[in-house]
Amino acid sequence: MPEAATGAAAELPAEARERHAALAEQVEEHRTLYYAKSSPVVTDAEFDRLLRSLEALEDEYPALRTPDSPTQKVAGDYETDLAKVEHRERMLSLDNAFDEEELAAWAERVARDAGTPDFHFLCELKIDGLAVNLTYEKGRLVRAATRGDGRVGEDITPNVRTIRDIPERLSGDRIPELVEIRGEVFFPMDQFQQLNERRVAAGEQPYANPRNSASGSLRQKDPKVTATLPLHMVVHGIGARVGFDIDCLSHAYELLSEWGLPTARHNKVVDSLEGVRAFIAHYGENRHSMEHEIDGVVVKLDEIPLQGRLGSTARAPRWAIAWKYPPEEVNTKLVNIRVGVGRTGRVTPYAQVEPVQVAGSEVEFATLHNQDVVKAKGVLIGDTVVLRKAGDVIPEILGPVAELRDGTEQPFEMPAECPECGTPLKAMKEGDVDLRCPNARSCPAQLRERLFYLASRKSLDIENFGYVAAAALTKPLEPAEPPLKDESGLFSLTAEQLLPIRAYVLDQDSGLPKRDPKTGEDKIVSVFANQQGELKKNAAAMLVNIEAAKNSPLARILTGLSIRHVGPVAAEALARQFRSVDRIRAASEEELAATEGVGAIIAASLKQWFAEEWHEEILRAWAEAGVRLEDEGAGEDEGPRPLEGLTVVVTGTLENHTRDGAKEALQSLGAKVTGSVSKKTSFVVVGENPGSKYDKAMQLKVPVLDEGGFAVLLQEGPDAAREAAVPQEA
Ligand code: IVH
């Protein structure tokens, strides 16, 4: 042993030794679960943290870094039923870079040790699957094995032969005497849920995530079972080879691909760290558009002779490094499954989990869609579950960590009654699994969701009227009475009604109460009154803003009524055509349907809405409170419509008009504005950087107006505008 190490050993405190032993045992235990059982109980990120702690401890006390330490071994040497096979060349693991600094330090070392400035980085995706080694002799697949401990793996030849991506025989030129092909087998993300569904139905335990399913599938005793699974492979390396000379890994991949092997489509050779960073950034943003999970990027020195010069440690090559993206999967406890009720009464089960940080935000709820999805995922209340939050995507429960069950877990049962108002639930449609609360008028949940929508930007845009206010107005804690039993009272709310209200703080997506982190109970607040018992500033502002909303344009009022299928766009079309609620009500279904931008479905829905007496009550109450249910000029004769019958397309950036402004100006004069140019288009108005619509107009010989020509159209009409159009070749 070198002197320095012996010296360090002499000072090695007992606690450090004990801590090392404990950490090493944990690491080994998790590795066994991961590699031998395909069923880890911690996430990859948690495991990485453990391993890092062990490494840090060994950095401090190098004597602890013995050859049998888990930091010095390629993991995977575990007893299984499968036969052992020795790899001709070792299968190594990878060192990780978790930040910019570590990446830059690696690149610097590479540049230094390569001994030449003439080298390239090969960037690849790091696929979260199962590493395999394929041995081809004279172009024939003779053996497939898992990585194992890097020297000896498990024989999975019959199983691998069932994977369609993997050729039994290589075809093409320059087939070598022998070659080991390394790669990753994965289970496609989008088919994972179905797999679990089938497993649960067959009484088997569901997998926690797609990686485990790949590994479990490949190590099936019966290859016939493997054959039924949609496994794929991506090649990411070459091991031993005879009669196969290569200069660069990237060139080798090209050849491999010609032989019929599934090489990666996303690889990229770059000549600087800048290029590496760009690759990392690009796939960081697009990591979810892949058919497999990726947990990072692998950067390799492309030149094979230089790889040899850099060599490897016991565990990993020095010529490659793995950049890990921030983890998007965490394990957490499924505390409960509760059902939320949406704006249309749809009832949705939600997982309420022990709050966790994942992908940059705290998650407490994850939708489970409906009772069938809960069953398909195989999760039980009380399970440890794998929760995934992919970037901006809504959080999702992947599956349970079934190994951690202790028998106290309970299956979820869909309630028969609305959890908010007690009304018996109904199927949305005949034979549908989705359930709905039929009490549309006064189910506090549905009313809360409608009010929240009505106050949102899309509709009346009432500032200071958020989700908590909507909840408090519809379902305050007793003994306060709810100020609103439907929308009628909204515009006559008073401060006196608001002051006594306390309510639960609800999660905006699920509608379920958030937990108070201090007490663990559902969180309650005084919503509108401060500690002195006076109206809070924002509550007073809310009342002022409600008052102001009485003068909103008709389209916004219509949107706020939550009439099925009538969103902001349809509401705009209705307002433009009819200009008042009274005229919409009076219109026949045919007239409504004939309106540009309305159509039969919306027309029918409007008729149904007006037929409901309580809806009319809302309108009466609003009118009484001073809400203007019509637009300026309604009932008067319409203004002149000199552009009636014209169809206009606006493209590019105009100097004096915004896109919407130009559109409104045209529509107010009777023109129809559309998005695509055809022979029927009357004019195309073009600003700066117009793009392909301009070319299309020229091609179809549709008159093109620049900003000057557009002004002529608005002021003098179509004939003058045709004169002012951009000249076109005859
Ligand atoms: S190269 C000698 N490239 O990640 C270099 N590995 O954490 C060995 N992996 O054991 C690996 N995608 O199973 C390489 N594009 C890629 C990879 C990749 C996934 C796996 C591989 C390796 C593990 C290390």
Instruction: Single out the residue of 447, 498, 491 nearest to residue 624, CA to CA.
Output: 491
Whether the per-residue pLDDT at 76 is higher than 70: the answer is no
Q: Class for domain 329-435, per CATH?
A: mainly beta
Structure tokens at 730: 């005859």
The sign of the torsion formed by the CA atoms of 355, 358, 362, 364 equals negative
* Nearest protein CA to atom 22 of ligand 1, as residue: 93
pLDDT single digits (tens) 354-385: 999 998 789 999 999 999 999 999 999 999 99
pLDDT single digits (tens) 547-600: 999 999 999 999 999 999 999 999 999 999 999 999 999 999 999 999 988 999
Ligand 1 centre to CA of 245 (Å) is 22
pLDDT at 662: 87
- Which one of 90, 123, 126 would you pick to mutate in the ligand 1 pocket, going by the greatest count of ligand atoms within 8 A of its CB? 126
If you search the block for the tokens 């691909």, which residue do you land on? 257
Ligand 1 centre to CA of 94 (Å) is 6
3-class secondary structure for 430-491? CCCCCEECCCCCCCHHHHHHHHHHHHCCCCCCCCCCCHHHHHHHHCCCCCCCCCCCCHHHHH
131 lines ligand 1 (CB under 6 A): yes
| Those residues with Cβ within 8 angstroms of residue 432's Cβ, 6 or more apart along the chain or in another chain | none
pLDDT single digits (tens) 280-313: 999 998 888 888 889 899 999 999 999 999 999 9
pLDDT category of residue 659 using cuts at 50, 70 and 90: confident
Q: Give the nearest ligand 1 atom to 316 CA.
A: 2
Structure tokens at 528: 């509108």
What's the topology of domain 84-324? D-amino Acid Aminotransferase; Chain A, domain 1 (3.30.470)
Give the CB-side neighbour count of residue 247, counting CA atoms within 13 A.
Answer: 3
Instruction: Single out the residue of 152, 179, 181, 178 nearest to residue 86, CA to CA.
Output: 152
Counted residue by residue, the chain has a size of: 730
* Contact between residue 276 and residue 124 where contact means Cβ atoms under 8 Å apart: no
pLDDT single digits (tens) 191-243: 998 999 999 999 899 999 888 899 888 888 888 888 888 999 999 999 999 99
185 lines ligand 1 (CB under 6 A): no
* Nearest protein CA to atom 21 of ligand 1, as residue: 131
216 lines ligand 1 (CB under 6 A): no
351 lines ligand 1 (CB under 6 A): no
126 carries an active-site annotation: yes
Neighbours of 325 (CB within 10 A): 16
Element (H, E) at 472: helix 467-474
> Per DSSP, what are the bridge partners of residue 346?
436
Query: Which is catalytic among the residues 73, 126, 389, 475?
Result: 126
* Contact between residue 214 and residue 130 where contact means Cβ atoms under 8 Å apart: yes
Q: Where are the alpha helices (DSSP H) in 552-599?
A: 554-560, 568-578, 581-586, 589-594
Ligand 1 centre to CA of 246 (Å) is 20
* Nearest protein CA to atom 2 of ligand 1, as residue: 92
d(CA 260, CA 252): 13
* Nearest protein CA to atom 18 of ligand 1, as residue: 126
Whether the per-residue pLDDT at 2 is higher than 50: the answer is no
d(CA 186, CA 234): 8
* Nearest protein CA to atom 17 of ligand 1, as residue: 126
d(CA 331, CA 389): 11
Instruction: Single out the residue of 249, 254, 238 nearest to residue 173, CA to CA.
Output: 254
Ligand 1 centre to CA of 316 (Å) is 10
Ligand 1 centre to CA of 268 (Å) is 16
Whether the per-residue pLDDT at 67 is higher than 70: the answer is yes
d(CA 197, CA 203): 10
Q: Class for domain 3-72, per CATH?
A: mainly alpha
d(CA 124, CA 620): 65
127 lines ligand 1 (CB under 6 A): yes
Q: Give the nearest ligand 1 atom to 124 CA.
A: 15
Lowest average pLDDT, out of 327-336, 566-575, 614-623, 689-698, goes to 689-698
| Percent of the chain topping pLDDT 90 | 74
pLDDT at 290: 86
Ligand 1 centre to CA of 360 (Å) is 26
- Which one of 184, 293, 295, 319 would you pick to mutate in the ligand 1 pocket, going by the greatest count of ligand atoms within 8 A of its CB? 184
The Cα angle at residue 77 between residues 74 and 82, in degrees rounded to 5: 135
Say which DSSP state 727 is in. P
* Nearest protein CA to atom 23 of ligand 1, as residue: 93
pLDDT single digits (tens) 592-621: 999 988 999 999 999 999 999 999 999 999
Element (H, E) at 146: strand 140-146
Whether the per-residue pLDDT at 484 is higher than 90: the answer is yes
Ligand 1 centre to CA of 160 (Å) is 18
334 lines ligand 1 (CB under 6 A): no
pLDDT category of residue 523 using cuts at 50, 70 and 90: very high
Q: Give the nearest ligand 1 atom to 74 CA.
A: 10
Ligand 1 centre to CA of 126 (Å) is 6
Whether the per-residue pLDDT at 6 is higher than 50: the answer is no
SS3 of residue 529 by DSSP: strand
pLDDT category of residue 327 using cuts at 50, 70 and 90: confident
* Nearest protein CA to atom 13 of ligand 1, as residue: 131
Give the pairing type, strands 121-127 and 294-301.
antiparallel
Whether the per-residue pLDDT at 165 is higher than 50: the answer is yes
Whether the per-residue pLDDT at 187 is higher than 80: the answer is yes
* Contact between residue 57 and residue 64 where contact means Cβ atoms under 8 Å apart: yes
Ligand 1 centre to CA of 395 (Å) is 28
Respond yes or no on whether the N-terminal peptide bond of residue 223 is cis (omega within 30° of 0).
Answer: no
pLDDT category of residue 45 using cuts at 50, 70 and 90: confident
| Domain range annotation of the chain | 3-72, 84-324, 329-435, 444-550, 552-624, 647-723
pLDDT at 482: 95
* Nearest protein CA to atom 3 of ligand 1, as residue: 236
Q: Give the nearest ligand 1 atom to 322 CA.
A: 7
Q: Tell whether domain 647-723 is in CATH 3.30.70.1350.
A: no
Ligand 1 centre to CA of 138 (Å) is 25
236 lines ligand 1 (CB under 6 A): yes
Neighbours of 361 (CB within 10 A): 10
d(CA 472, CA 535): 14
* Nearest protein CA to atom 14 of ligand 1, as residue: 236
SS3 of residue 551 by DSSP: coil
d(CA 653, CA 655): 7
| Those residues with Cβ within 8 angstroms of residue 424's Cβ, 6 or more apart along the chain or in another chain | 416, 417, 418, 438
pLDDT single digits (tens) 19-32: 999 999 999 889 88
- Which one of 94, 287, 318 would you pick to mutate in the ligand 1 pocket, going by the greatest count of ligand atoms within 8 A of its CB? 94
pLDDT at 637: 56
Element (H, E) at 140: strand 140-146
Q: What is the mean pLDDT of residues 96-107?
A: 94
Ligand 1 centre to CA of 328 (Å) is 19
693 lines ligand 1 (CB under 6 A): no
Whether the per-residue pLDDT at 639 is higher than 90: the answer is no
298 lines ligand 1 (CB under 6 A): yes
What are the strands, taking DSSP E only, across 376-533? 384-388, 396-400, 426-427, 435-436, 502-504, 524-526
Q: Give the nearest ligand 1 atom to 92 CA.
A: 2
**Alpha-carbon distance values, 415 to 197, 371, 436, 444 (Å):** 22, 10, 11, 17
Say which DSSP state 207 is in. P
92 lines ligand 1 (CB under 6 A): yes
320 lines ligand 1 (CB under 6 A): yes
Assigned superfamily of 552-624:
5' to 3' exonuclease, C-terminal subdomain (1.10.150.20)
249 lines ligand 1 (CB under 6 A): no
Q: Which residue has the higher pLDDT, 406 or 6?
A: 406
